[in-house]
Chain A
Amino acid sequence: MTKSELIEIIARNQTQLAYKDVELSVKALIEQMAQSLSSGERIEIRGFGSFSLHFRPPRVGRNPKTGESVSLSGKYVPHFKPGKELRERVNEAISK
């Protein structure tokens, strides 16, 4: 499922809203989540999961082509931890 397919499904469910409003809402929602993580703020969605940042310490990497070593500075990477409901629903779906 892609973002545009998700927008279509929501628009079909929320008939009181114009397609354009749903589209703008989904885009604003995703932008707010991205903005939150890029400013170091966690996201916590009950029953879905939480997004946080994990720190990757500085390391010496290698250019795979030339074998030359390059020092890489520490950085943050996004991390997602599925919530209980999502974990259970995804797993139960296969045991049925």
Chain B
Amino acid sequence: MALTKADIAETLFQELGLNKREAKEIVECFFEEIRMALERGEQVKLSGFGNFDLRDKSQRPGRNPKTGEEIPITARRVATFKAGQKLKARVESYAGSVK
């Protein structure tokens, strides 16, 4: 099972004693503020986790995979994530199969 916003809110409720509404709001606010910073064109750096960066991509030729028709992929801005050293090191040693 994947980790969701509800799981994180539950942890804040259980471990930090926030009430359920506060826990839910803080989780919501966390992701919304990151989206807003990226929307403003700002990089987001979360130490111990990683950085969210923006990349401007220029237009490139693409194809409709179904029809084979050539259509340009328009210029766009995309958000990327680069894991930090600490997270990379923690994940690297993971030996089991991915759930």
Point out residues on A near B: beta carbons under 8 Å: 1-3, 6, 9-10, 13-14, 16-17, 21-22, 24-26, 28-34, 36-53, 55, 75-80, 82, 85-87, 89-91, 93-94
B: interface residue count bin: 35 or more
8 A-B pairs with least C-beta separation = A80-B81, A38-B90, A78-B83, A42-B2, A44-B2, A36-B3, A1-B37, A43-B3
B16/A25 in contact, CB under 8 A: yes
Given contacts A6-B33, A14-B25, A78-B83, contact A41 B3 (CB under 8 A): yes
Contacts of A43 in B (CB 8 A): 2-4
* Distance of B25 from chain A, by nearest CB (Å): 6
